[in-house]
Amino acid sequence: MARTDDDSWDLTSGVGATATAVAAGRALATKDPRQLVNDPFADPLVRAVGIDFFIKLIDGELDTSAFGELAPERMQSMIDGMGLRAKFFDDYFVSVTGTGIRQAVILASGLDARAYRLPWPSGTVVFEIDQPDVIEFKTGVFDGLGSQPTAQRHTVGIDLREDWPAALRAAGFDPNVPTAWLAEGLLVYLPPDAQDQLFDTITSLSAPGSAVATEYVPGIMDFDPAKGTAMTTQARDQGLDIDMGSLVYAGPRSHVMEYLAEKGWNVTGIPTDELVERHGLAARPERDPNDPFGEIVYVSATLG
């Protein structure tokens, strides 16, 4: 089913299930001996959601033979990719809070556990924004584990299509102090105009010295939804109801780095292949030309 302006989902369906997929990737990357990321909460969160496909995946019980002879290489590449992605954004928060920022906002936080696992400086406030049911579910899992956040965690249960800036302020957000923003794995699920509006809003709420991190996915411009649907056929055959062809918004949209620069941000972009080389990982296998995420540039920026 194609996306609509008022569609809905949870952590087992639609866009919400992609948050569970990313958490499963972090769980696998955490088990990997190279430990690019250490997320002890990813595994229990995935199990709590209860999607059988992802539980089998993190337990090493998924039948990958249907994915072709390159399945082992592609699986390792996926684990590496999730580890690199998590590490990039972990390092971003560690770096910017090292400059004195003590206010962070995680947009569409999903199953993000950074408020519980990063070494936040004393006095840091982390705001997590997502749909109320997602926030409630995740908080319940953390409570069940007896876990305590390592920062002052403020949750904001609201859909980003609603007046989230007002809800954020009501939760204690201060637009007059520098903020570290994170929009991880979000932009491709937004219509092009909503992407622009998101960065316009972030800019309007950011004091000088603020920072933002996100991704630029150039493949989304030419993404063919029909080919995206075909790409996820094998996973659907094994019970995973995720159709990438219907979840992302394809077509022309603003170039993330150029748009931020026009808004006054000082922008840096690092392609995935550069991160792979930087961390001494094996070169990625030949990319599926139908995969819009085959090329990702990780973006960080500061507001002068």
- Whether residue 133 is contained in a domain is answered as yes
- Whether residue 33 is contained in a domain is answered as no
Q: Domain residues for 174? A: 97-303
According to the model, what pLDDT value does residue 180 have?
A: 99
Strand-pairing partners, residue 104, are 126, 180
- Whether residue 3 is contained in a domain is answered as no
The separation between CA 203 and the C-alpha centre of its own chain, rounded to angstroms, equals 20
Determine the Cα–Cα distance for residues 261 and 199; give it in Å rounded to an integer: 11
- Whether residue 35 is contained in a domain is answered as no
Q: Which residue has the tokens 């992605």?
A: 85
- Whether residue 179 is contained in a domain is answered as yes
- Whether residue 218 is contained in a domain is answered as yes
Residue type, 274: E
pLDDT per residue as tens digits for the range 257-294: 999 999 999 999 999 999 999 988 877 776 666 566 77
User: pTM for this one?
Assistant: 0.92
Determine the Cα–Cα distance for residues 215 and 232; give it in Å rounded to an integer: 22
According to the model, what pLDDT value does residue 283 have?
A: 77
- Whether residue 181 is contained in a domain is answered as yes
Q: How many domains does the chain have?
A: 1
- Whether residue 82 is contained in a domain is answered as no
Determine the Cα–Cα distance for residues 188 and 109; give it in Å rounded to an integer: 15
Intervals of the chain under pLDDT 50:
1, 69-70
pLDDT per residue as tens digits for the range 201-224: 999 999 999 999 999 998 888 777
State the burial class of residue 207 (Cβ atoms within 10 Å of its Cβ: 0-12, 13-18, 19+). middle
The separation between CA 105 and the C-alpha centre of its own chain, rounded to angstroms, equals 13
The CATH number for 108's domain is 3.40.50.150
According to the model, what pLDDT value does residue 3 have?
A: 54
